[in-house]
Amino acid sequence: MRILIVEDSDKIRESVAQALREADYAVDAVADGRQGFIHAQTGDYDAVVLDLGLPELDGLSVLKKLRDKKIATPVLLLTARDAIDDRVLGLQSGADDYLVKPFALDELLARVQALIRRSQGKSTPKIHVGPLMIDQVNKSASVRGRDIELTPREFALLEYLAHRAGKSVARHELEQHLYDDRSQVWSNAIDSTVCALRAKLTVAGCPPLIHTRRKVGYVLQERAVK
């Protein structure tokens, strides 16, 4: 999953970015509202962490412009303690949640996770596909109760496919959501990660769940793709 942070305080932006990266998110971080809007309107993000008080374009305007453009990416607002009006206005303008500064990084992580889950229509952190279970809180996957050792990238890919189980996901979309602007993406990166994942699932006794959609990408589902 890929997150955008829009925050002008270097200290907060850097600590949030680091915490999210340590939790294996792909992260892009910008320091003003204009850059925030330019990045967010691509729609490549699974969530946006948006400060309200920003140079160039304030957070509320960024949010309104995104919603006007029908960009539905979940948005977590960062607000000051005394700014109740801003919070209300933010929620009314299409924000999904807010966090009052100063906040604990653990709480921010939990809220971002919950936000992404809700936006995908999943109320629980566990996703089941056949005998495979993906636990988004513990970032683990298991087959019939037995854990499978996955790299962060493999888990991220599996999690993304699991969110869209039964639907085809293009290679390009996977690249956009698994890699941030700092990453170098090799042309066969997605295919080789899928290959490694399939091998691990097979070893764990899982039937084939990741199917190739010719000329499209991949789909995670129990039955075979015609």
* Nearest-angstrom CA–CA distance, 21 and 90: 26
Q: Which is nearer to Ca ion, 55 or 207 (CB)?
A: 55
Is residue 96 a contact point for Ca ion (CB under 5 A)? no
The token pair at 54 is: 């920003």
Q: How far is the CB of 166 from Ca ion (least distance, A)?
A: 41
Q: How far apart are CA 112 and CA 30, in angstroms?
A: 18
Is residue 218 within 8 Å of residue 40, measured between CB atoms? no
53 is a contact residue toward Ca ion (CB under 5 A):
yes
CB 78 within 8 A of CB 98: yes
The token pair that represents 18 in the structure block: 């680091």
Let me know how long the chain is. 226
Q: Quick check: 8 binds Ca ion (CB under 5 A)?
A: yes
Can you tell me which of 32, 44, 46, 51 binds Ca ion, judged by CB under 5 A? 51
Stretch that binds Ca ion, among 2-10, 90-98, 136-144, 179-187 (CB under 5 A): 2-10
Rule CB under 5 A: say whether 125 interacts with Ca ion. Answer: no
- Contact status, residue 124 vs residue 152, Cβ threshold 8 Å: no
Q: Whole-angstrom Cα distance, residue 121 to residue 127? A: 11
With CB under 5 A as the rule, give the number of residues binding Ca ion. 3
Pick between residue 27 and residue 78 the one whose CB is nearest to Ca ion: 78
Stretch in the footprint of Ca ion (CB under 5 A) among 8-16, 20-28, 85-93, 209-217? 8-16
Regarding 58 and contact with Ca ion (CB under 5 A), the answer is: no
Task: Point out which residues bind Ca ion (CB under 5 A).
Answer: 8, 51, 53
